Amino acid sequence: MSEENDLSKEESLHDSVPVTGMYKEWFLDYASYVILERAVPAIEDGLKPVQRRILHAMKEMDDGRFNKVANIIGQSMQYHPHGDASIGDAIVNIGQKELLIETQGNWGDVRTGDRAAAARYIEARLSKFALDVVFNPQTTEWQLSYDGRKREPVTLPVKFPLLLAQGVEGIAVGLSTKILPHNFCELIAGSIEILKGNPTNVLPDFITGGLADFSEYNGGQRGGKVKVRAKIEEEDSKTILIKEIPYGTTTDSLIDSILKANDKGKIKIKKVVDNTAKDVEIAIQLASGVSPDVTIDALYAFTDCEVSISPNACVIIEDKPVFLNVNEILAYNTKQTKALLKRELEIRKAELMEKLLFSSLEKIFIENRIYRDIEECTTWEAVLEAIDKGLEPYKPDFYREIVQDDLLKLTEIRIKRISKFDTFKADELMKKLQGELKEVNYNLRHLTDYAIKYYENLLTKYGKGRERKTEIRTFDTIEATVVAANNAKLYVNRTDGFVGSGLKKDEFVCDCSDLDDIIVIRKDGKCMVSKIQDKNFMGKDILHVAVFRKGDERMVYNLIYLDGASGRAMVKRFQVLAVTRDKEYDLTKGTKGSKALYLTANANGEAEIVTVYLTQGAKARVKVFDFDFSTIDIKGRGAGGNILTKYPVRKIQLKMEGVSTLGGLDIYYDPIVGRLNTDERGDLIGNFLGDDKILVVYKTGDYELTSFELTNRYDPANVILIEKFDQDKIISAIYYDGGSKTFYVKRFQIETTTLNKKFNFITDHKQSYLKVVSTEKQPQASVVFMKGKDEEVMEYDLDMLIDVKGWKAIGNKLSSYTIKDIKLIESKKANPEGPSKVKSEVDEDEQIEVGKTIDLSVKKDDEEQLGLF
């Protein structure tokens, strides 16, 4: 009995398959199935199998009327071997893209995240675009459905880059795809350029609108990135409005991210109200004293108001997943469209030639009374032979051989048709067919031109209302530490050496953010930077503690220290631009016994005067003297400094507060991102000190005074003039009044002093706009106007046209003639680099004089250059 058991065990082991082998084969089969049949679209039509089967089912049902989505799901299940839920979700997804399906009922809202109603309540039908572009049974390749009962398309003969227009996202086994939607009109324009042999570069466009930076798009390939931002407007100093949301977010998810950022203290807001109806509008009420500009930046930095999307263009080509960029996909689809158009023309040519052939046969058969020859025939074969014999003289004129089927068709002509045959009408029909055939042949010979006309017709027919929704921008990099709200307080215990936000019983230093770095300078001449914590030991006897701003070239430290080795008092001015966190840096020469005697931190490079008192036992003749820090240069953090005195110092006292030795700050405006900077990007606005202001004039006819804070934001599409404000300058402007349909000219001075508030100086009609504006002393404008049928150009001196009046004055009518165009004539002194670039009022020589010839270059040691964090 045991021998039989052992034998059966051996047989079962012999028949078994290792699990590893099963896993290898089955896993690959499953992965291939998911990639090819579920997750990744085919490049030919841009559709996943479920989408293709839905569209095919809808075409079979199409009678011009709407069908319940529940019925469409049932019809689609004949082709798609999966549940109704996946089919229903796919239909809703297609319908929400508003291209292939016309919808009726509640189909949800991609902006708010609201779901569609149940399938039994909503209806759909194919759009006219889909019927024109997607289907053609004659050019479709067919296959049997999963159960063999029906035919379904392998791919649909789509004559349009549908994949790029709709976008797609799918996750397979070990593979994923994410192709972003692109603009309908731009895709057609791109295809036309490809047909003309020109390069193209298409960019995504999102139904939710918003702003997008495509500088790192990389053609939609792996490794690329798209930054998308909400469109945020400042309604007033206490309210900002979100008008459009980023792709991939909803109003609910966006509001949740804003509330979470507020709870964490990253931003400070009072309330968020969702007013979304036809258009998106999320109103954010700010806390008192909070800057709208800083809050907008903080929303981009800490909430879903800015999201980063990583595309990954993967498609199926010849049953294999292939990674392409979107321009290659567009070129492939354009080539395919051209091939499909050629195929349709060839099919049409064959049809026309067959119609012409039969029309000719019919005419010969009737006019030559060949039907009379078959009256005496007794067999069917004799009938066909008689007809064939009657056509014999004409056979050389036909484009192909006359076969038996042609003869059979002639026998099917009824007596009534023969008796009413009209030769003239027959000739007219044949001429029409010949004309159409000639046109088809012409199009085949000029296929590229035909394809271009096809695309142009698509654009004319379906392009209206499909203009770009997402605005293309270049985004500036927002530093989170700069825009984070002050959600923490910094305390210090100088004696014990503890610094942090949790030492509430110790000395308060300042408000800060939990993202900030803290700099400490101790009495022993050591400097350290560390991330803010609840309680952090940074060394005993702290002289200076503050929030550290990396790369702040305006912050200058004035230090007098005792060198322990020589006993000399050394003096230095230095900056701390870049360090490694939690690493100690020696500000002295590092010798034993060295210590700081005097230290100040100056946010704008101020250089004070101090009084130095030597000890009574010092051998120096002068035991009390003054020292001016402005007499020494600003050097690197590691520099040893200059000798102040070789005698022992008893004390040092401040004698006079210092003034900045750095001169004014050169402020630039970057018209691409609409931001101020000191990095020489864009146009130089001017050199700014203290209370200087910036004047901004907008195309809407508003002017605004702002500070020169780098956190200020300006809409580059709306700014017509930005420069350093001079209250003595006269503003000359020409604007269009929407009410009277007339141009007016006015000159005025800025009389208001309120910052960050817009004042409208043109008429308040919704069609009014500012045409030109200038702050030159003698501005000139060139005006093109119509005098009867003739076009004339006139140059005006604006300062001679009208006197200076109040900013609320309407102004004078510019001309009674119809004005076609107005342009400012740039003066010879105007900066050639652009109208918004204004030369600083302080030239280089004046800056040197104000700065007392101080060398502003900063010498960085090797450690500073390598120790960036």
Residue positions annotated with a catalytic role: 121
How large is the C-alpha radius of gyration of the chain?
A: 40
What is the distance between the alpha carbons of residues 234 and 284, in angstroms, rounded to a whole number? 10
- Would you say 654 and 608 are in contact if contact means Cβ atoms under 8 Å apart? yes
What is the distance between the alpha carbons of residues 30 and 310, in angstroms, rounded to a whole number? 26
Task: Write out the E strands in 700-748.
Answer: 702-706, 719-724, 731-737, 742-748
Q: Which of left, alpha, beta for 508 (phi over 0: left; psi -120 to 50: alpha)?
A: beta
What is the distance between the alpha carbons of residues 98 and 92, in angstroms, rounded to a whole number? 10
- Would you say 180 and 220 are in contact if contact means Cβ atoms under 8 Å apart? yes
Per-residue burial over 723-738, b = 16 or more CB atoms within 10 Å of its CB, e = otherwise: bbbbeebbbbbbbbbe
Q: Which two tokens stand for residue 332?
A: 């492939």
Q: Which two tokens stand for residue 522?
A: 């101790």
Per-residue burial over 68-93, b = 16 or more CB atoms within 10 Å of its CB, e = otherwise: bbbbbbebbebbbebeeeebbebbbb
- Would you say 162 and 45 are in contact if contact means Cβ atoms under 8 Å apart? yes
Report the length, in residues, of the chain: 869
What is the distance between the alpha carbons of residues 659 and 702, in angstroms, rounded to a whole number? 36
- Would you say 711 and 694 are in contact if contact means Cβ atoms under 8 Å apart? no
C-beta neighbour count of 582 within 10 angstroms? 12
Cα 853 from chain centroid (whole Å): 46
How many CA atoms, within 13 angstroms, populate the side-chain half-sphere of residue 816? 1
Work out the angle between the directed axes of helices 447-462 and 326-367 (0-180°, nearest 10): 110
Q: Which two tokens stand for residue 811?
A: 């102004």
What is the distance between the alpha carbons of residues 716 and 94, in angstroms, rounded to a whole number? 36
How many CA atoms, within 13 angstroms, populate the side-chain half-sphere of residue 126? 21
